[in-house]
Structure 1
Amino acid sequence: MSTAPTGGTGILVTAPGDGGPGDGTPVVEVLGVRHHGPGSARAVRAALERLRPDVVLVEGPADADPLAVLVGDRDLVPPVALLAHVTDEPGTAAFWPFAVFSPEWQALVWAREHGAHVRFCDLPSSSSLVQRTDAEEPAAEPAGGPTDEPTGELADEPTGELADPLGVRRDPLAALAAAGGYDDPERWWEDVVESRSDAPAPFAVLTEAMAELRAVTPALPAVQQLLEDRREAHMRQVLRETLKGGARRVAVVCGAWHAPALSGTLPSAASDARLLRGTPKRRTTLSWVPWTHSRLARASGYGAGITSPGWYHHLFTARDEPVARWLTRVAGVLRAEDLPVSSAHVIEAVRLAETLALLRGRPLPGLAEVTEATRAVLAEGEEALLALVTDRLVVGESMGTVPDGAPTVPLAADLRASAKRLRLAQEPAERALELDLRKDTDAARSRLLHRLRLLGVGWGVPTRSQVRGTGTFREAWRLVWAPELAVAVVEASLWGTTVAAAANAKAVADAADASLPALTGLVEHCLLADLAEALPAVVRAVDDRAALDLDVAHLVAALPALVRAARYRDVRGTSTEALSAVASSLLVRTCAGLPAAVTSLDDAGAAALRAALDDVHAAVALWQDPDADERWSGALAGVSARTDVHGLLSGRATRLLRDTGRLLPAEAAHRLQRALSIGTPAPAQAAWVEGFLGRDGLLLVHDTDLLALLDGWVCSLPEREFTDVLPLLRRTFGAYDRAERRSIGDAVTRRPPAGTTTGAADVDDALALPALRTAAFLLGGPA
């Protein structure tokens, strides 16, 4: 309750249920809650029904009031979150999440249903985002603020590694639980609040307990404490403005930690005004965005994650027989996995959960009891099945929705419309998507997903197709929509108002300072995303950069992506004439610089360049340009013929020439024999073998001459050199799959040992006669 302002002393707010003064004085009740608590949500609904306020104040950014009118829209379905970002710096953003079981959400819904005026009363995001950024210190976790991950913006329990030996500010409910003899604050809260399905939460008792905790808790560091003080001062100022505006009954729904600051004799308005004077501000933009239960289960939103949002949602929505209904849902999950779970199992699990609660002196079974009943009866002790239930039900992956007409940045609206048109649902559950680029709808989906990747919105991730016999006309994606992608969309909105325009602008901007390999990758991305406006500028940048880049490593890294990009002209219908000229120029410069690039390389440098040579060789084969093929083969021939080049490179060049028919098998064998000749150090010989064989061991199965040559070399190695070479050979042959290794082993066992022949003239009859007699005797013949 409250009395009207008296002089300069402020407002006297008394505990709920004390009874009004009976003289027409405005009535104010402060409902201190646990955020995301179904018991608190039910208690708030009951308190509002009893008080019937004409104004409801809810802890939240005060500048979000215009968005409160959307509460009650059938398309605004929790879990959702308020997203605030600095208008000219979208990366500075924060979320205020709401679930259906959040007390604040239920207060908003009640107000809309009963025609009560509703206001958010916390610091505006225009101030809180700036101050929270300033309040972050290297030695402390942020107390909720703009980071890359969603953070708790309405924390009733200040978070962070603070100078507080009791940890009260980190989790004040843990202190209350410890005082009540509980070692688990979640269980304490369930017993005191969550299991109270018929009675309101003890707001007065919680406020009194929090006042005691605040009295003994050390202050925060100065900057963080100033932020908390300003938040509470702003809440009081909004309360004063509401009463001054003529409100007769006011309900304030806030975190329990803040309830004492809004109860009792409040400080004067002048003192709060002085505290708020000088509060920094920046222009911010707010909107509703979808949220998920899994995000509520993380340390995000209201300062601390809740471990069981799916269970809390069930507690709030299942008014009767919550345990039986829950275990029935568990059985459904297990049956979906083809497990034999019957109704008898459910009945037995319910009995076990109720018995455990009785033995532990609990009013109703809680999550601990139903989990143990699930483990013992329904999962039969299998922890993997219990983990499945936890993932599907206890946490869950429910995702909210936002009306199409809700305020948002134009880019987000365009993305939403495009996704709807292409029938791409923004779902939190991972799903695979196979696209056939010959179909118009699938091609449009591919363009959208590639454009979003270019903008840093990772809704889709390319994967390997599961369809056999796929060509360049097929793509496979893994789609997962996470809430934080809403911030990525806001950040990307700086580049344009539509996905296509933003992607084109972003590509041109990226081309300005990208390296040559990154530029050719950007060309490929522009073709995949069909960015016709950006492609000419990016191709010009490639041409200009290639003319000045003297690093052959950059050239060989850049060429494959450029050649692959040209292949998409057949599937996507994109004009790529300019790419051929740029690719030809790159290849000429690569071939000219290759002799110098392969000289004096260490093992790591040679390995990196060998991989690049493989990529360029594959790109030239894909290119199908006779002039390019001739030029590249000549460059490889020069590397293969040299004896002063690292064995990995000369061996690989020899193999590539052999595979394309530019080098006869006999000549390739001769070069292998030369590389394995006496006088060459064993490690150098092994490097040449590794380069020559590469990752294809079947060559040894089909070419018996090469196998004999290699076998003879291994058998001729002295013990010390064999010990030095063995790790290198293991690395080479270890890269083959099991079937290849087995085939090579069979081929070795089928051929005679090195240095022997199978001619009859070489057999010593005197030595063979005893063996022949023994074999004849064993076979039943004469000895």
Structure 2
Amino acid sequence: MTARDQPLLLGVRHHGPGSARAVRAVLERYEPPAVLIEGPPEADALVALAADEAMRPPVALLAHVPADPGRAAFWPLAEFSPEWVAIRWALAHDVPVRFIDLPAAHSLAMGEGEGDGGEEAEGGGSRGAVSAGRGEADARTAGSGRAAGADDRTPGTGRTAGPDQPADADAAPTPAPDRAAEARIDPVAVLAEAAGYDDPERWWEDVIEHRAHGHRPGNGGESGLTGEDPLAPFEALAEAMTALREAYGVGGHDRDLVREAHMRLRLRDARREFGEGVAVVCGAWHVPALARRTTVTADRQLLKGLPKVKPEVTWVPWTHRRLSRRSGYGAGISSPGWYGHLFSAPDRPIERWMTKIAGLLREEDYAVSSAHVIEAVRLADALAVMRGRPLAGLAEAGDAVRAVLGEGSDAPSALIHDRLVVGDVLGEVPESAPAVPLQRDIARSQRSLRLKPEAAERELDLDLRKETDAGRSRLLHRLRLLGVPWGEPARTRASTGTFRESWRLRWEPELSVRAAEAGIWGTTVEAAATAKARSDAVGTSTLADVTALAERCLLAALPDALPVVMRVLTDRAALDADVGHLAQALPALVRSVRYGDVRGTDAAALGEVATGLAERVFVGLPPACTGLDADGAADMRNHLDATHHAVGLLDEVPADRPGGLRERWAGVLRKLAEREPVPGLLRGRAVRLLLDDGRLAPEDAERLMGLALSAGTPPAEAAGWIEGFAGGDAGGLLLVHDERLLALVDGWLADVPADAFTDVLPLLRRTFAEYDAGVRRTLGELVRRGPAGATGTAAARSDQEAAIPGFGPGLDRDRAAAVLPTLRILLGLPEGMDSTQDTNRTGVAG
């Protein structure tokens, strides 16, 4: 150990594997009596948890205000973060650790509206989870979109230190001092520009991180500088930052003056307590300010009168994916998986990286051999030499993978980026870490239901007839109601049926803030969800919102919340006379009635309300459909479809009145179909719904279409009728299989006057654009050929081969014969029947 009479000021860019190695090398060489780290002092009591075996990075310090949990900030730390390396070294050597940044009590209080810019945090969802020092250039903020203390001042780049150690003292160029001191600057960009680089990140990696005197990163050495003082690179970087601070002052980041004043005071306290030689790990931008001599009085004056709140601090899991994001709570590292590899690789990082890629591609059935790996490594090294880089980086490795392993294709690149360059690593924190009661109940529920949170998105199929799956469904629905969307409902084949559900799960770090915020509603998930549902019911303003809430209460199995929701629902339904609102609210109510029985909940009261609501829609819909403009008709068409679907489900529940809901609904549709003041879009839709339900004969549908497409109907009105009748994929198939209807449309379109054609065409194009490409192609062939029998060819055939209405000009015997063996098995026909009999039966069946 070498004694020092000055603090060890270790200026870094955060989340850099090379910077982390360099910090560890200095600590090993000088063995400081204490380690000071840029971070909230409230976390001092939590440092010891970093040595717990259950603590696995990436993790983050979370500070939030219990009275206002949406006011929160994160300080993320990865395995390759210099701060994390310093903490682990100090704990392993029984050296005290202190955080010295501005307390979260002040930074959280200052975050709302008192910063010098910045943006609201993503992901919080409430009143904008603001970060410590919101608006600062310091990247530990949620609002700035970068990670803890990334004092590179790089709003646009966001990436952090690359793969190896800082360079010697001659590496950093001196910037031109003639810039305006008031401008907000990126110091790394200024240094890079002075060195002739157009990319600040490439300069940092080449000059600071990659430069290792011919030593490859990750070769097992600590400093990469044999026989040299590991502190020299930090001194060189401090000299460059000093020149920048002399030229630019605080570079437009005024709040740094307050933060640095607090850091100096904490540093003075540490020097009095532990003596000289304490180590300080902080952003390189702050080093000149910490080295500058000031008075205690001046520093305390800067801190006087700061606003203050009372925060709570804990450790929470973090993810590589969240580290890679440059907005919201992200740390702004573009390649955390790559950095983690560089930090953990004992030697030959490029070779090991290519081997990882080869293994991943083989798992995905790509043909990758050892020769591919060897050639990719050679190409990456050659590219680094050609580009004048000291070592191959991620860009060279990516180009080599694309050329060799991907054989010129970009297809593997997205997979490699998602799985390796970024990665799906999710950190873990010990159970002894402080947490609000609701968070602990969530963790208990996750363990009991064997539903482990994961950073990677995965699909979960549930069978609600099984107790464990039903419990998982309740938990996910309750968390969504609390604003903690760990899972989102998904639509898959496995989710069809009332007893099945499918979810897409992904645990994001900011969900910890959401859970803390939801803690105001209760100490358990069920109690909190019940309290929030009651509050939401009272605060809703529309009938549709109340019905949607009732559905969510049933899905989440919250029987104690339903009485309040039902009382509000009944009041809203009685007072709301808008048919559109009633029709919009009906589907959610009907789903609640239907799925309530599957989940074992009592939905009888909801069934009564839904039936009454449906009957009010039946009465009010016909007059509400008259006198509508195009936009109003389009909205009413959606209500018509929703009501039709809802009635189909609701009629499965016995109705008290004779005839049933479906029969009464069919009567409403008949009124709409034949009522001239109703817009053509709605009349056509009513005919289509009746036809699909079998309550209207094809001949009657043809008659109504003929009337709608008659010469006396305005072309735009007729086009709207067609859109309502034939809209959607099924509408195209209807025209394919019923050439009589297609002939009516074709004949009407041919007779549209030229002056009206330009008005009609966009409406028809919108209708036919919804069809699949195959349906449109078939319709084109049918129109080109003309109606069945029109050419006289079909008329010349025998009655047996005559055109079958709706199925083209006649029977194709060869195509029919190909399916006869399978069809005979399905119909249970005897083996001895000849092909003519089979064909005739097939034709009759058609």
Residues 229 and 142 of structure 1: is their aligned pair in 2 closer, same or farther, counting only changes over 3 Å? closer
Q: How does 1:333-352 map to 2 (within 5 A)?
A: 333-352=360-379
Residues 228 and 722 of structure 1: is their aligned pair in 2 closer, same or farther, counting only changes over 3 Å? closer
How far apart are residue 347 of structure 1 and its match? 2.3
Residue in 2 aligned with 1:397? Answer: 424
How far apart are residue 99 of structure 1 and its match? 0.8
Residue in 1 aligned with 2:193? Answer: 178
Counterpart of 1:736, as a letter, is Y
Residues 146 and 133 of structure 1: is their aligned pair in 2 closer, same or farther, counting only changes over 3 Å? farther
Residue in 2 aligned with 1:495? Answer: 521
Residue in 2 aligned with 1:230? Answer: 258
Residue in 1 aligned with 2:591? Answer: 564
> Are the equivalent residues in 2 in contact too, given 1:149–1:484 (CA < 8 A)?
no
Residue in 1 aligned with 2:469? Answer: 442
Counterpart of 2:203, as a letter, is W
How far apart are residue 415 of structure 1 and its match? 1.4
Residue in 2 aligned with 1:43? Answer: 22
How far apart are residue 355 of structure 1 and its match? 3.9
Residues 655 and 335 of structure 1: is their aligned pair in 2 closer, same or farther, counting only changes over 3 Å? closer
The structure 2 residue matched to 1:98, chosen from 63, 77, 80, is 77
Residue identity over aligned pairs, in percent, reads: 55
Residues 757 and 641 of structure 1: is their aligned pair in 2 closer, same or farther, counting only changes over 3 Å? farther
Residue in 1 aligned with 2:282? Answer: 254
> Are the equivalent residues in 2 in contact too, given 1:95–1:150 (CA < 8 A)?
no
What is the CA–CA distance in structure 1 between the aligned matches of 2:188 and 2:699, rounded to whole Å? 81
Residue in 1 aligned with 2:762? Answer: 727
Residue in 2 aligned with 1:74? Answer: 53
Query: Which stretch shows the higher mean deviation, 556-565 or 395-404?
Result: 395-404
How far apart are residue 396 of structure 1 and its match? 2.3
Residue in 2 aligned with 1:768? Answer: none
Residue in 1 aligned with 2:645? Answer: 618
What is the CA–CA distance in structure 2 between the aligned matches of 1:562 and 1:646, rounded to whole Å? 28
The structure 1 residue matched to 2:688, chosen from 632, 655, 674, is 655
Residue in 1 aligned with 2:724? Answer: 691
Q: How does 1:470-619 map to 2 (within 5 A)?
A: 470-514=496-540, 515-619=542-646
What is the CA–CA distance in structure 2 between the aligned matches of 1:576 and 1:446, rounded to whole Å? 18
What is the CA–CA distance in structure 1 between the aligned matches of 2:336 and 2:38, rounded to whole Å? 21
Residue in 2 aligned with 1:640? Answer: 673
SS in 2 for 1:402: coil
Residues 53 and 331 of structure 1: is their aligned pair in 2 closer, same or farther, counting only changes over 3 Å? same
Residues 340 and 688 of structure 1: is their aligned pair in 2 closer, same or farther, counting only changes over 3 Å? closer
Residue in 1 aligned with 2:127? Answer: none
> Are the equivalent residues in 1 in contact too, given 2:789–2:795 (CA < 8 A)?
no
How far apart are residue 663 of structure 1 and its match? 4.1
> Are the equivalent residues in 1 in contact too, given 2:596–2:603 (CA < 8 A)?
yes
What is the CA–CA distance in structure 2 between the aligned matches of 1:720 and 1:731, rounded to whole Å? 20
Residue in 2 aligned with 1:431? Answer: 458
Counterpart of 2:281, as a letter, is V
What is the CA–CA distance in structure 1 between the aligned matches of 2:723 and 2:329, rounded to whole Å? 58
- Identify unmatched segments of 5+ residues in structure 1: 1-15, 22-26, 761-783
Counterpart of 2:531, as a letter, is A
Q: How does 1:679-758 map to 2 (within 5 A)?
A: 679-695=712-728, 696-697=730-731, 698-701=733-736, 703=738, 705-722=740-757, 724-741=759-776, 749=785, 751-752=787-788
What is the CA–CA distance in structure 1 between the aligned matches of 2:448 and 2:81, rounded to whole Å? 33
SS in 2 for 1:31: strand
Residues 45 and 438 of structure 1: is their aligned pair in 2 closer, same or farther, counting only changes over 3 Å? same
Counterpart of 1:472, as a letter, is T
What is the CA–CA distance in structure 2 between the aligned matches of 1:606 and 1:63, rounded to whole Å? 60
Counterpart of 1:732, as a letter, is T
Residues 399 and 303 of structure 1: is their aligned pair in 2 closer, same or farther, counting only changes over 3 Å? closer
Counterpart of 1:157, as a letter, is D
Aligned length: 733
> Are the equivalent residues in 1 in contact too, given 2:76–2:331 (CA < 8 A)?
no
Q: How does 1:3-402 map to 2 (within 5 A)?
A: 20=4, 28-137=7-116, 143=137, 151-158=146-153, 170-195=185-210, 196=212, 197=221, 198-199=224-225, 200=230, 202-219=233-250, 224-225=253-254, 227-247=255-275, 249-264=277-292, 266-299=293-326, 305-358=332-385, 362-402=389-429
Residues 303 and 275 of structure 1: is their aligned pair in 2 closer, same or farther, counting only changes over 3 Å? farther
What is the CA–CA distance in structure 2 between the aligned matches of 1:376 and 1:660, rounded to whole Å? 58
Residues 302 and 45 of structure 1: is their aligned pair in 2 closer, same or farther, counting only changes over 3 Å? farther
> Are the equivalent residues in 1 in contact too, given 2:118–2:144 (CA < 8 A)?
no
> Are the equivalent residues in 2 in contact too, given 1:168–1:174 (CA < 8 A)?
no
Residues 604 and 114 of structure 1: is their aligned pair in 2 closer, same or farther, counting only changes over 3 Å? same
Residues 753 and 687 of structure 1: is their aligned pair in 2 closer, same or farther, counting only changes over 3 Å? farther
Residue in 2 aligned with 1:669? Answer: 702
Counterpart of 2:765, as a letter, is R
SS in 1 for 2:7: strand
The structure 2 residue matched to 1:411, chosen from 426, 429, 438, is 438
Q: Deviations over 1:359-394 (max 9, x none)?
A: 556544333433333333333332332343333222
SS in 2 for 1:475: strand
How far apart are residue 136 of structure 1 and its match? 3.3
How far apart are residue 281 of structure 1 and its match? 0.6
What is the CA–CA distance in structure 2 between the aligned matches of 1:686 and 1:741, rounded to whole Å? 18
Residue in 1 aligned with 2:822? Answer: none
- Identify unmatched segments of 5+ residues in structure 2: 120-134, 157-177, 213-220, 797-846
Residues 137 and 54 of structure 1: is their aligned pair in 2 closer, same or farther, counting only changes over 3 Å? closer
How far apart are residue 568 of structure 1 and its match? 0.9
Residues 662 and 301 of structure 1: is their aligned pair in 2 closer, same or farther, counting only changes over 3 Å? closer
What is the CA–CA distance in structure 2 between the aligned matches of 1:279 and 1:451, rounded to whole Å? 39
> Are the equivalent residues in 1 in contact too, given 2:319–2:427 (CA < 8 A)?
yes
How far apart are residue 634 of structure 1 and its match? 3.1
What is the CA–CA distance in structure 2 between the aligned matches of 1:35 and 1:145, rounded to whole Å? 10
> Are the equivalent residues in 2 in contact too, given 1:168–1:213 (CA < 8 A)?
no
Counterpart of 1:473, as a letter, is F
Query: Which stretch shows the higher mean deviation, 450-459 or 551-560?
Result: 450-459
Counterpart of 2:108, as a letter, is L
What is the CA–CA distance in structure 2 between the aligned matches of 1:482 and 1:303, rounded to whole Å? 11
> Are the equivalent residues in 1 in contact too, given 2:538–2:568 (CA < 8 A)?
yes
Q: Deviations over 1:627-681 (max 9, x none)?
A: 3223323332332231111111122223333444544444443333332333221
How far apart are residue 240 of structure 1 and its match? 1.9
> Are the equivalent residues in 2 in contact too, given 1:177–1:188 (CA < 8 A)?
yes
How far apart are residue 159 of structure 1 and its match? 5.6
What is the CA–CA distance in structure 2 between the aligned matches of 1:464 and 1:243, rounded to whole Å? 61
Residue in 2 aligned with 1:455? Answer: 482
Query: Which stretch shows the higher mean deviation, 240-249 or 62-71?
Result: 240-249
Residues 379 and 714 of structure 1: is their aligned pair in 2 closer, same or farther, counting only changes over 3 Å? closer
Counterpart of 2:246, as a letter, is A
What is the CA–CA distance in structure 2 between the aligned matches of 1:267 and 1:735, rounded to whole Å? 72
Query: Which stretch shows the higher mean deviation, 371-380 or 407-416?
Result: 371-380
> Are the equivalent residues in 1 in contact too, given 2:681–2:724 (CA < 8 A)?
yes
What is the CA–CA distance in structure 1 between the aligned matches of 2:611 and 2:743, rounded to whole Å? 41
What is the CA–CA distance in structure 1 between the aligned matches of 2:419 and 2:546, rounded to whole Å? 43
What is the CA–CA distance in structure 1 between the aligned matches of 2:376 and 2:183, rounded to whole Å? 37
SS in 1 for 2:334: coil
Counterpart of 1:656, as a letter, is L
